[in-house]
Amino acid sequence: MPQGGGPGQNPAPSAPTARPAGVPLGLPGVGGPAPRQAAPDPQWQPAAPGYLKVRFIHTVAAFVPVLLVGLGLDALAVLTDGPLWMRILGVLVALVAVFWGGWWLLTTPRRTRALAYALESNHLMTRRGLVFRSITSIPYGRIQYVDVDSGPLERLSGVSRLTVRTAGEAAGTVVVYGVPNDIVDAVRAELVHRADERMAAL
């Protein structure tokens, strides 16, 4: 029988090229387009360890007054032979302060470690939150002002806050907590420098 393609005959289809064993799909030229490379993780700078003491003191200062109010209501009801509802209310307020404040104190180290910032190539990124994680990304071109703030407890602990004010339709304020005092001025200067560069390029 004649072989090959004669006049008016279609050539036989060629067999598909076999994929070499051990080569995954998705490589260039093999089984489809190349996979998209994942973006590198931000270089997070966590809050300084000294900021943990500040958070502990703030937590205690927030819940101790509530506890004292509950105990005061209960004591007042006992001393003045007040109504039963006053004693119940005092006990409930005290219990809420003890349990809620205790949980807040126990999670303070983890919540403090969740605070971080990153100076990326085009954005300032901030991270916060333990149960509800929040990550904010701010283009340097939107930064208007960068202020350094610190209260008495922060100064004693060797940390400061950076308050970043932004422009645009979504203008607002972003706070970077727990920046060590020995680098806070350098971080502020770097943010201002990058913001000025982006504004000059517009």
Return the CATH number at 181. Answer: 2.30.29.30
- Kindly state whether residue 56 falls inside one of the protein's structural domains: yes
Contacts of 6 (CB under 8 A, 6+ apart): none
Two tokens at 190?
Answer: 């770097």
CA gap 187, 116 in Å, rounded: 13
Whether residues 104 and 58 fall in one domain: yes
Judgement on whether residues 109 and 137 belong to the same structural domain of the protein: no
Q: Please say which residue of 77, 98, 113 terminates a domain.
A: 113
Query: pLDDT digit string (tens) for 97-121?
Result: 999 999 999 999 999 999 999 999 8
Same domain membership, residue 120 and residue 103:
no
Boundary (domain end) residue, out of 113, 137, 172: 113
User: 161 and 147 in one domain?
Assistant: yes
106 and 124 share one domain:
no
Cβ atoms of 65 and 83 closer than 8 Å: no
pLDDT lower than 50: segments of the chain: 1-2, 4-6, 19-30, 32
pLDDT at 170: 58
Same domain, 120 and 197: yes
Q: Say whether both 173 and 122 belong to one domain.
A: yes
Are residues 73 and 149 located together in one domain of the fold? no
Domain range spanning residue 150? 116-201
Domain co-membership, 104 together with 134 = no
Domain count, the chain: 2
Residues 102 and 123 in one domain: no
Domain shared by 99 and 121, yes or no:
no
Instruction: Single out the residue in 70, 97, 113 at which a domain terminates.
Output: 113
Q: Which is nearest to 155 in space by CA: 57, 64, 60, 45?
A: 57
- Same domain for 136 and 186, yes or no, is yes
**Model confidence over 44-73: pLDDT tens digits?**
999 999 999 999 999 999 999 999 999 999
Contact 178, 112 (CB under 8 A): yes
pLDDT of residue 29: 46
Q: Report DSSP state, residue 162.
A: E
